Amino acid sequence: MSFIANDVRYKQRFQNFGSAFNLLKSALESKDFDDFSDLELEGIVKRFEYTFELSWKLLKDYLEYEGIVFTIISPKSVLKESANKGFFKEAGMDAEIYLDMLNTRNISTHQYDFEEFMNAILKINGIFLIELKKQYEYFLNKVNENDV
């Protein structure tokens, strides 16, 4: 794959991630947290799942743009490589929270336990949204500086 194709790929992925992030953020900001119905909360969890999916894939595409070659492509391998290359520190993000997001996403998509569900909702509305916002702002700046 050429340099230009990688450049375009991470920018396109950022656009998709940005759309997903903004949908998640707007849903969480649409009313008081205690006023959401169970169905609305399930929708928020689903929005988190696809936002996180785009989040780690954006990291993968950006690292490939930076010249990293992955032998195994999985969310965990991308997160570990991002941490090893200092990306999280550079972006002011927390690798441990991203690993927690991965674990929460895996639990929410593969099993249903009310206590785990509510734990996920609280994390999504708190530390996960904050961390995803950091990623969004980092890449918004990165894409804008590269387009100048």
- The CATH number for 80's domain is 1.20.120.330
Mean pLDDT of 124-130: 97
Measure the CA–CA gap between 148 and 145, rounded to whole angstroms. Answer: 5
Residue 3: exposed, middle, or buried by beta-carbon count in 10 A (0-12, 13-18, 19+)?
A: exposed
Does 6 have pLDDT greater than 60?
A: no
- pLDDT for res 111: 75
In angstroms, what CA-CA distances link 92 with 83, 109, 120?
Answer: 11, 28, 23
- Supply the pTM of this predicted model: 0.91
> Domain tally for the chain?
1
* Residue linked to tokens 């200092």: 86
Does 71 have pLDDT greater than 50?
A: yes
Does 146 have pLDDT greater than 90?
A: no
- Note down the domain range covering 46: 3-147
**Residue percentage of the chain with pLDDT more than 70:** 93
Decide if 81 contacts 63 (C-beta within 8 A).
yes
Q: Please give the radius of gyration of the chain, using alpha carbons only, rounded to the nearest integer.
A: 16
Does 41 have pLDDT greater than 90?
A: yes
1 pLDDT band, cuts 50/70/90, is very low
Does 147 have pLDDT greater than 70?
A: no
- pLDDT for res 4: 47
Give Cα 60 distance to the centre of its chain: 11
Quote the mean pLDDT of the chain.
92
In angstroms, what CA-CA distances link 124 with 40, 41, 69, 77, 102?
Answer: 13, 10, 31, 22, 12
